Amino acid sequence: MPSVRCSDMYKNIHAAVVGSINMDIVLNMDRVPEVGENVLGTTYGYACGGKGANQATGLARLGAQTKMIGKVADDANGRRLIENLGKNGIDFSGVATNGTQTGLAAIIIDGDGRNRIAVYEGANSEIDPDEAADCIDDSLDLLLVQFETSEEVVVKCVNRAIEKGITTVIDCGPAKDFALEKMQGATVISPNESETKALTGISPDDDSSILKASEILKKRSNAQFVVLKLGERGCSVYDGESLKVLPSYETNVVDTTAAGDSFTAALALEYKRSGDIYSACDIANKAGAIAVSRMGADASMPTVKDIEKLI
């Protein structure tokens, strides 16, 4: 299995992300409140987030030429988020700024680093499907999407990319049922545990349920690979014939926010580079482990050097 050796290994990959851009307000507390209860927090802060923008940052930090396609409003949060994309070296020419209100996520992190996230979609739900799909052209090698924009946007962009022969990775967050049948033949489909349950009705708790859920996802999407993110158990890969589980890396969990985004970005890039799904999953497990050991959403995305250190 090849390992990450040089920091410019992904520099020739032209990637785009169609997805959400949110301002995250993050509140840390020892334990989360019950209904009707008022619990004091320990710290709070604002962070640049949104599954789409986090994945774009993940790609850019790893060195890919990255373009973000999405929507914000011309408000204080929207301006700050666009500025942050630019600081991360992301081409934001595909981000429209005429939304009604920029997306917002309220995130509570408990004492064990686990999160609860409530999202106001705002401008993310106003992306024009045709405008987004028109950004997907022959210059791209790789497309990443998630489910934090409208179904029409996701379906149109994925199908445009598949038609063009672009490697297409579908991250199934947040958890919801989704018409996978409308986008047949992506390269990778990758839900986490709760997303797997929402899409298949099965909790991937053991080898047999992981296989059953993966078979359903493969049948519904006809994706080349089904990669389940299994949290501290690592991830599984199903190619229609065999199932393999790749273990995670031990780490000190500080904040699980955006671990899945970090995983998906690394998975997509390494698969595009090497064509080896197992090596891609291994590097994705490392990227996820690094993200959970750091606070924040896009701020927790690793560079190739960070991944090398973990090796």
Residues that bind ligand RIB (CB under 6 A): 20, 22, 24, 49-51, 54, 105, 117, 119, 148, 173, 257-258, 260-261, 297
Closest distance between ligand RIB and the C-beta of residue 2, in Å?
28
Closest distance between ligand RIB and the C-beta of residue 260, in Å?
6
Question: In this complex, which beta carbon is closest to ligand RIB, that of residue 175 or of residue 243?
Answer: 175
Question: In this complex, which beta carbon is closest to ligand RIB, that of residue 231 or of residue 240?
Answer: 231
CA distance 22 to 258: 12
Question: In this complex, which beta carbon is closest to ligand RIB, that of residue 99 or of residue 260?
Answer: 260
Place of tokens 């949110």: 22
Closest distance between ligand RIB and the C-beta of residue 136, in Å?
22
Closest distance between ligand RIB and the C-beta of residue 148, in Å?
6
Closest distance between ligand RIB and the C-beta of residue 119, in Å?
5
Catalytic choice (141, 171, 255, 261): 261
**Catalytic: 138?**
no
* Cis peptide leading into residue 174 (ω within 30°): yes
Cβ(213)–Cβ(202) below 8 Å: yes
CA distance 89 to 73: 21
Look up residue 37 and give its two tokens.
Answer: 């209860």
Question: In this complex, which beta carbon is closest to ligand RIB, that of residue 166 or of residue 287?
Answer: 287
Place of tokens 């000190």: 252
Question: In this complex, which beta carbon is closest to ligand RIB, that of residue 9 or of residue 85?
Answer: 85
When CB distances to ligand RIB are compared, the closest residue is 49
CA distance 77 to 281: 34
8-state DSSP, 114 = -
Identify the H or E element spanning 83. helix 76-87
CA distance 210 to 216: 10
Going from the C-alpha of 189 to that of each of 59, 224, 303, the distances in angstroms are: 17, 8, 23
Question: In this complex, which beta carbon is closest to ligand RIB, that of residue 119 or of residue 199?
Answer: 119
Q: Which residues contact 134 (CB under 8 A, 6 or more apart)?
A: none
Cβ(83)–Cβ(57) below 8 Å: no
Closest distance between ligand RIB and the C-beta of residue 150, in Å?
15
Going from the C-alpha of 13 to that of each of 103, 170, 269, 305, the distances in angstroms are: 28, 18, 8, 18
Active site residues: 261
